[in-house]
Structure 1
Amino acid sequence: MHIVMVECNPNGIAGIANALRLGHRVTLVTADPDFYLNASPLAADAYAHPNCEVVKSADAFSIDALEQLVKEIHAAHPVDGVTTYSEYHTVHAATVARALGLPGLSVEGALNARHKHRTRLALRGAEGVRQPRFAHVEDPAGIEAAIREVGFPCVVKPSDGTASLHVLHLTNEDELQAYLAELAKVSDYGRGVTRIPDLLVEEFVTGELVSVEACVLADGTVVNLGITDRTLSGFPYFIEMGATYFADHPLREQLFAMNEKVLAGLGIDFGFIHTEYFLTPEGPVLCEVNGRLVGGIVPGLMKISCGVDPYLEVIRQALGETPELPFPGEVIATGRWFGSPVEGVLESIDFAAVEELPGFHEALSYRAAGRQVSKLSTSNFDWLGHLVFTGTDRDQAHGRAEAALDRIDVQVSVKVAR
């Protein structure tokens, strides 16, 4: 069968590779094919596969242009499914799937999840769904009025952002002005992804951050799969530094019940969905909804835990098949990301002292030696790599991964001012 992937993400190249191994034809539509070649060790072999076609299009983020392009692809080789692993392109995949009459998330549901202000507005007043106090800012000129409405401390974020990019905790007016000055320089997120002007100002909510991973089947049934905990960096940024996929959270039933209400309220009717919640003393508070499979290393953690590859199941569902669902198993897998403490040129990363530890499963560098690296400071894009460890329970897995971080040998050369 023929699947069209509208962009991807570096880890998601594994899904493309697995689909090719099963004999499917894959067409990857992307504005920047080299992005994946530089970010995934699997990309070169996938690109070279006879059943893989990579279509480069600078206009891929234009929905009209993308729809026309995929119709041309469909005319040459009939398309059986359309999907994406990319947060930036969920609306695009939904729109193209609808245009071809193929399975997919409703466009309205995709929009409500993709744009954070739409999520808040659609669920405002929804019974059983707690949200932070918020203000939607359509023009940056209205930010000060929104801040007065919500108050300091608050969190400001672009409505169409992802990976914690440009999300900041603010405590005063000076921090706000500095934030707006920096954001004004950002017109796009790379790969042709243009930024919309909308911002969201939210009450600062304290509490553990977790996510509910779910799948909405073709008949609209919401199946809650498991919970992913999150380890975050300190203020003022919110960089994800760790994740564990498991089943036995004490608020599981409460989270699952709220998740069903959230997805129904947004019109999310198909596919794997990743929804984040803050755990406050009053109960879960909705952080955000992503109309696609959870990103980063979590799909890999899911596969370790239960043996089901969620990347491949996304493709199978888009092709009209009933997906096998990756419920957490007896093995608990956790991951930790790491970065550089300084900006410079990466000389080497040595995992030898990590690989000998109990529970070690995987260590991966995202950067090749000789490349410029940034200081781990503002977003998930500052990651240098990750570790994955397993355990018989969450505490054991956590402890093993945390201890291993101190045994990574990262060498970075830094220019010294003279």
Structure 2
Amino acid sequence: MNTGWAPAGPSPVPADSRPALLMVDDRASSFTRYAARALPEDLVLLRFAEFRGDLCEDYLSETAHLPAFWVREGVPLAEEARRYREWAAELPAAPTRFCNPSEPRQHVAQRFAALAGLPHLGEHQVAWVRDKAAMKRRFRELGLRTAAFDRVRSAADVERFAAEHGWPLVLKPVDSFACVDTHLLRGRDAVRDIDLAARDFMVEQYLGGTEWEVCGLIHDGEVLSAWPSAMPFRPLAIVDGAMNANISVGTDEGPAVDLPALLQRIVTGMGIDHGYAHMEFFVVDGQVYAGEIGIRPAGCEIPANHGHAYGFDVFAATLDVYLGRRPRLDYRERRCAGDLLLPLPGSGTVRRVTSADELLRLPGVVDAVVRAGVGDTVTARRASHNASGHVHVVGESIGQVEQRMRAILDAFTIEVAPVREPDPVSG
């Protein structure tokens, strides 16, 4: 199996001036694994006991060489931050920089960093990049177009919005990610089975046109570069079974939009000093509509796509901006490169699955990871990151990459047998 990027590491600096980084670690990812290899002496992990079940034992063993601080469940965060400061003071080098790659932990992670005296996003900034209604209000304050939107608490609220803006509508929790609990409503009947009291929901007008993504690195308040991505299918179609892929466009096929200027307007308007920005936007009849933005590495394998498309170490560059250093962006390629998430058709026991070695022999495949092995128990979820693994596929154009992805899906097989419930015992 190709294990992906070998760490070239962030920009070299003298050992006595290297900053240590505290990184939130609530799930294994290509970025966190890279950081663990690239910064063996300068990385400290911040973990939350409440979410320990999301970290598999293999990953905990893989990162056992790194110091890790566990935030206890049910203990006031201020008390845990005080305990962390005492704990960190005993390390060879206490962290002076902070990175949170986790979208769902933004609120608690940034508040912890503030209490620990580390660089962090303020409360308003967290709201702007996490609460989708507050985010869209901020976009509009910055002069950007957005879909019409409103918070809703009942089916009647949804119907009133639809009376003004029409169907279909998109219903989502304001703090959702990966399309969890997000729905496309085509009429009033669609909302009847949704518990709108369970979460803080918003509704927004469904936009046509083309949906794009763009990522960029920020250093000292400046957007250093912007990398567009095409999506063969929108996320809401993906959770209903469409091909799950993103394609970094290193060629001239990208949208006719000044992407660095678009990101810079938002970064400046939100007062973002540094980090990785990931944004979704729409182009409708030549007009740009801002969708959503996150200030953390993009999900799935999108960052790695950019590395493959432009021929540079994207993870090292990302670590640089979180370590307070300006990265060198030396691009050696200009092509299209995408991540195709391999399907996971259901929950149960894996009976048969195509191997990574087989996938690596297919045209355009430069990396392959198959997480589900024969005999493993897997759980499928209605989420845009639901997958049994992924492949990275390169090509000369968006169309060629997408064509190769479809051939991969034709060649990939996974069989999952549902777990049988035990027969009831007769009395």
The alignment's TM-score, normalised by the length of structure 1, stands at: 0.83
Q: 1:389 to 1:235 in 2, by over 3 A?
A: closer
Q: Given the superposition, is the C-alpha separation of residues 371 and 393 from structure 1 closer, same or farther in structure 2, using an over 3 Å criterion?
A: same
User: What value does the CA root-mean-square deviation take over the aligned residues?
Assistant: 3.2
Query: For 1:313, which of 307, 314, 317 is the aligned residue?
Result: 317
Q: State the distance in 1 between where 2:360 and 2:396 align.
A: 18
Match of 2:85 in 1: 71
Q: Is 1:267 equivalent to 2:286 in the alignment? A: no
Partner Cα separation in structure 1 for residue 75 and residue 36 of structure 2: 24
Relative to structure 1, the CA distance from residue 29 to residue 152 in structure 2 (aligned partners, 3 Å threshold; closer, same or farther) is same
Kindly indicate whether residue 282 of structure 2 is the aligned counterpart of residue 281 of structure 1.
no
Structure-2 residue corresponding to 1:301: 305
Counterpart contact for 2:340–2:390, Cα < 8 Å: yes
Given candidates 104, 107, 112, the residue that maps to 1:88 is 104
CA separation of 1:43/1:301 partners in 2, compared to 1, >3 Å: closer, same or farther?
Answer: farther
Tell me, in whole angstroms, the C-alpha distance in 2 between the residues paired with 1:382 and 1:9: 14
Name the counterpart of 2:140: 124
Deviation at 1:130?
1.3
**Secondary structure of 1:406's match?**
helix
Whichever residue aligns with residue 241 of structure 1, its letter is N
Question: Does residue 21 of structure 2 align to residue 20 of structure 1?
Answer: no
| CA distance in 2: counterparts of 1:62 and 1:325, whole angstroms | 41
What is residue 395 of structure 2 aligned with on the other side? 391
Q: CA deviation at 1:83?
A: 1.0
- Residues 409 and 394 (structure 1 numbering): CA distance in 2 closer, same or farther, change over 3 Å? same
Code of the aligned partner of 2:269: G
Is 2:362 aligned against 1:361? no
- Pick one of 54, 66, 75 that aligns with 2:68: 54
8 Å CA contact retained: 1:2, 1:79: yes
56-65 vs 351-360, which moves further: 56-65
Rounded to whole Å, the distance in 2 between the matches of 1:79 and 1:416 is 48
Match of 1:157 among 155, 167, 172: 172
* Number of the residue aligned with 1:10: 28
Q: Post-superposition shift, 1:204?
A: 0.6
Give the corresponding residue for 2:8.
none
Q: Which amino acid aligns with 2:400?
A: Q
Quick one: structure 1 residues 416 and 56, their matched pair in 2 at CA, closer, same or farther if it must change by over 3 Å? closer
* Counterpart secondary structure, 2:258: helix
- Secondary structure at the counterpart of residue 259 of structure 1: helix
Q: Is the 8 A contact 1:7 1:28 kept in 2?
A: yes
Deviations 1:274-326 (A, max 9, x none): 01112222422111011111121112222223454433433333332223447
Q: 1:171: which partner in 2?
A: 186
In the other structure, the counterpart of 1:134 is 149
1:343 shift after superposition = 4.1
Q: 1:172 to 1:313 in 2, by over 3 A?
A: same
Letter in 2 for 1:246: V
State percent identity of aligned pairs: 21
Alignment correspondent of 2:205: 203
1: CA distance, partners of 2:322 / 2:61:
24
Cα-to-partner distance string for 1:190-230 (whole Å, 9 max, x where unaligned): xxxxxxx4222000112322111112212x11233211122
* AA in 2 matched with 1:115: D
> Kindly tell me: are residues 321 and 152 of structure 1, through their superposed partners in 2, closer, same or farther at Cα, counting changes over 3 Å?
same
**In the alignment, is the contact (CA less than 8 A) between 2:311 and 2:334 conserved in 1?**
no
Cα offsets for 1:353-386 (capped at 9, x unmatched) = 432222221222233433444557x312432221
1:148-202 deviations in Å (ceiling 9; x for gaps): 4544210011111111111110012221121227x73xxxxxxxxxxxx422200
Task: Output the CA distance in 1 between the equivalents of 2:237 and 2:311.
Answer: 36
Structure with higher Rg: it is 2
Task: Quickly say closer, same or farther: Cα 1:14–1:140, change in 2 above 3 A.
Answer: farther
Residue 194 of structure 1 corresponds to which residue in structure 2? none
Match of 1:400 among 399, 404, 410: 404
Distance 1:27 1:341 in 2: 33
Shift of 1:113: 0.7
In structure 1, the partner of 2:128 is 112
Deviation of 1:243 after TM superposition, in Å, equals 0.8
Cα distance change, pair 75–114 in 1 and its aligned pair in 2 (3 A): same
Question: SS of 1:330's equivalent?
Answer: coil
The whole-number CA distance in structure 1 between the counterparts of 2:76 and 2:134 is 20
What is the CA distance between 1:100 and its match in structure 2?
4.4
State the TM-score, normalized to the length of structure 2.
0.81
Contact 2:216 2:276 in 1 (8 A): yes
**Which residue in the other structure is 1:214 paired with?**
216
Cα gap change, 1:320 to 1:259, in 2 (>3 Å): closer
Q: CA deviation at 1:393?
A: 3.2
**What is the letter of the counterpart of residue 397 of structure 1?**
V
Query: Following the alignment from structure 2 to structure 1, what is the Cα–Cα distance between the partners of residues 75 and 156?
Result: 27
2:247 and 2:391 map into 1 onto residues whose CA distance is 12
Deviation at 1:133, TM superposition (A): 0.6
The question of whether the paired residues in 1 share the 8 Å contact of 2:27 and 2:54 is answered with: no
Change (3 A) 1:283 1:70: farther
Q: Report how far residue 69 of structure 1 moved.
A: 4.5
Change (3 A) 1:201 1:306: same
Deviates more, 1:365-374 or 1:205-214: 365-374
